[in-house]
């Protein structure tokens, strides 16, 4: 990690946030499993800090079968109770239920559109929006959120949707002073 680089202000000097900022945030993601992971994590963040969720990411991967929607969509009440007892994740029944419901909705979109990636990237015409297009990106996040809610997604309001778009590179929302603003590369898996 090069401490002389200028980064987005939110990354600060935090040893957990800097690697996430430098290697993942804002890098275009096209992998369906990773997109579902980010939907889940952004929904889990609601009302909490991203750092809290980032520290729990490995526990989430373990608890939610590496974010495989086919497996998660089959979770029963016993599995829900098991998740509610898991100290490694945010133990909020509404958020846990949302992951399961979103897995089901995700699979429908994947089947109808060929891939979830194709579906969400179509909202931005398959090209990341830039920081200067932020107002346009906010409108798109509102449309995407509304459309996905109609498709059965929950815990995916426009604020969470915008954060999802930022995290997955649908909008390159790195600050213009940030070294990554002009240097984002395509990133497919973690």
Q: What amino acid positions are annotated as catalytic residues? A: 20, 42, 50
DSSP notation for 122-181: HTTTTSPEEGGGHHHHHHHHHHHHHHHHHTT--S--HHHHHHHHHHTTSEE---TTSTTT
Model confidence over 36-82: pLDDT tens digits? 999 999 999 999 999 999 999 999 999 999 999 999 999 999 999 99
Question: Quick one: average pLDDT of 95-120?
Answer: 98
Model confidence over 178-187: pLDDT tens digits? 999 887 754 4
Domains, in order of start, for the chain = 26-172 (1.10.340.30)
Prediction pTM value: 0.92
Contact 164, 39 (CB under 8 A): yes
């Amino acid at each position: 990690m090069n401490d002389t680089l200028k980064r987005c202000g939110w990354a600060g000097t935090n040893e957990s946030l800097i690697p996430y900022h430098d290697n993942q945030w804002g890098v275009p993601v096209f992998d369906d499993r990773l997109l579902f992971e980010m939907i889940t994590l952004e929904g889990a963040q609601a009302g909490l800090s991203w750092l809290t969720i980032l520290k729990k990411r490995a526990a989430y991967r373990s608890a939610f079968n590496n974010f495989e929607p086919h497996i998660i969509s089959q979770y029963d009440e016993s599995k829900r109770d098991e998740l509610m007892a898991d100290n490694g994740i945010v133990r909020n029944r509404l958020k846990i239920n949302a992951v399961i419901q979103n897995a089901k909705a995700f699979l429908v979109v994947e089947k109808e559109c060929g891939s979830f990636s194709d579906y969400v990237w179509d909202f931005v015409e398959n090209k990341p929006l830039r920081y200067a297009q932020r107002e346009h990106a906010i409108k798109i996040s509102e449309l995407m959120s509304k459309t996905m809610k109609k498709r059965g997604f929950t815990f995916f309001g426009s604020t969470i949707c915008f954060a999802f778009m930022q995290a997955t590179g649908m909008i390159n929302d790195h600050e213009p002073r940030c070294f990554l603003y002009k240097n984002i590369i395509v990133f497919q898996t973690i």
